[in-house]
Amino acid sequence: MGIRRYEYLVVNGCSQTMGQNCHIDLIWPKLLADKLGLKLINLASSGSGWYTIETTTTSFIDKNKDILDKCFFIFQKSMLERGLDYSNLPTFISDIWDEYNIKYLPNSSIRVHGYKNWKKFSNELPDFEKSKDFDQIRGMYPFFEDSVEHSYLVYFPEHRHYPNSRHNWKPIINGKECEPKYIHEQIDELLLHFGQRMLSFHLFLKSLGVDHIMVDGYSPFLSHKLNFRNYYDTDDEFEWIKRFWSNEKTEWDEGDVMLYDFKNTKSGWIFDKIDNKYKIDDVVLWSLYQFKTEVEWCPDGGHAGPKGMELIEKVIYQNLQEKAWI
């Protein structure tokens, strides 16, 4: 299957694919489209999560069925916490279905089913159990509800990634920052959710005969095994990348950090069901330039500059060749 049968390169993702802080002619989708001799259609927008990527792509497909066989799609998965209504996801612990190894329920479910023994999780009977008010929202931890209204789990953590004020996930107990008690299990549930969404979308696209490939942008989903390839200038930089995403404590970690074990995530099996031809699972694009301090590589710590964009284009092009898309 050769690239000559395509006329359009359609990309979707967040700011990394839209090209924030980089001239439009220097972003990786434009560089790649020019190299392949294709017209670029860039559906990406800053701050997008997977739901935005799904819906905007599906809308494009619905309105452009006549050219789908001439399109090649690239999807960049964004961050863990974007675009989710956590009250509808199983991040609330309960023992009601323990016999089936189900330990977490959505907020609406736990307000109906409750617990067999709530004392295992709390010293206080939850308010909704006292009042039987099933319309009352109960957060996973009361300290997620103390600051901004409905803020609990809105800023969900991502490993070492973004341990700053925009992701204020650490509760303060007795004047000290603490790691939420069930945070690793909750991330397992979120990765499972995103794995299901990505696999489902992949199978939907395959059923339509839509040629595509997926790649991680800011966190390991497809690349959860951390079997990264050395796309880097030096071996030292490659080692830093592997350590950054591991659960190994490093010299640049300050105080307590959340070190989620991506390599042993319980949801890895569902990402593995996405066909290898349709995914790049040996890189997180942000990692290609995250340790580069020069402006032309990374002007703001989170987005690629011209050199960073060149490297992203090179990595994706190499994978398209190796997977026989071109």
Percentage of the chain beyond pLDDT 90 is: 56
Cβ contact 184:44 at 8 Å = no
Q: Please check the confidence at residue 274 and state whether its pLDDT lies above 90.
A: yes
- Measure the CA–CA gap between 97 and 106, rounded to whole angstroms: 13
Residue of higher predicted confidence among 259 and 214: 214
Residue 172's pLDDT is 55
Of 244, 211, 238, nearest to 323 by C-alpha is 211
Query: Among the three residues 133, 159, 182, which one is the final residue of a domain in this structure?
Result: 182
Same domain assignment for residues 156 and 294? no
Contacting residues for 229 by C-beta, under 8 A, at least 6 apart: 282, 283
Residue 251's pLDDT is 82
- Measure the CA–CA gap between 115 and 119, rounded to whole angstroms: 9
Instruction: Find the domain containing 162 and state its range.
Output: 86-182
- The CATH number for 318's domain is 3.40.50.1110
- Measure the CA–CA gap between 137 and 125, rounded to whole angstroms: 14
Same domain assignment for residues 139 and 170? yes
Q: Which residue is associated with the tokens 């996801």?
A: 89
Q: Report the 3 state secondary structure along the chain.
A: CCHHHCCEEEEECCHHHHCCCCCHHHCHHHHHHHHHCCEEEECCCCCCCHHHHHHHHHHHHHHCHHHHHHEEEEEEECCCCCCCCHHHCCCEEEEEEHHHCEEEECHHHHHHHCCCCHHHCCCCCCHHHHHCCCCCCCCCCHHHCCCCCCCCCCCCCECCECCCHHHCCCCEECCEECCCCCHHHHHHHHHHHHHHHHHHHHHHHHHCCCEEEEEECCCCCCCCCCCCCCCCCCHHHHHHHHHHHCCCCCCCCCCCCCCCCHHHCCCHHHHHCCCHHHEEEEEEHHHHCCCCCCCCCCCCCCCCCHHHHHHHHHHHHHHHHHCCCC
Same domain assignment for residues 200 and 299? yes
Same domain assignment for residues 172 and 218? no
Same domain assignment for residues 158 and 305? no
Same domain assignment for residues 178 and 194? no
Same domain assignment for residues 154 and 209? no
Q: Stretch 24-53: mean pLDDT, rounded?
A: 96
Name the band, by pLDDT with cuts 50, 70 and 90, for residue 156.
low
Q: Please check the confidence at residue 211 and state whether its pLDDT lies above 70.
A: yes
Backbone region of residue 77 per phi and psi (left: phi > 0; alpha: psi in -120 to 50; beta: other values): beta
Query: Among the three residues 182, 216, 242, which one is the final residue of a domain in this structure?
Result: 182
User: pLDDT tens across 91-143, in order?
Assistant: 788 888 998 899 888 877 877 788 888 788 776 666 666 655 544 444 444 43
Residue 144's pLDDT is 41
Q: Which two tokens stand for residue 148?
A: 């901004």
Same domain assignment for residues 71 and 194? yes
Same domain assignment for residues 160 and 195? no
In degrees and rounded to multiples of 5, residue 282 shows phi and psi of -120, 20
Same domain assignment for residues 194 and 308? yes
- Let me know how long the chain is: 326
Same domain assignment for residues 62 and 102? no
Residue 297's pLDDT is 96
Same domain assignment for residues 98 and 31? no
Considering its fold, how many domains does the chain have in total? Answer: 2
Residue 312's pLDDT is 98
Mean pLDDT, the chain, rounded, equals: 84
Q: Which two tokens stand for residue 159?
A: 């490993």
Which range is least confidently modeled, 6-10, 133-137, 228-232? 133-137
Q: Stretch 232-260: mean pLDDT, rounded?
A: 86
User: pLDDT tens across 214-227, in order?
Assistant: 999 999 999 999 99
Query: Among the three residues 159, 182, 205, which one is the final residue of a domain in this structure?
Result: 182
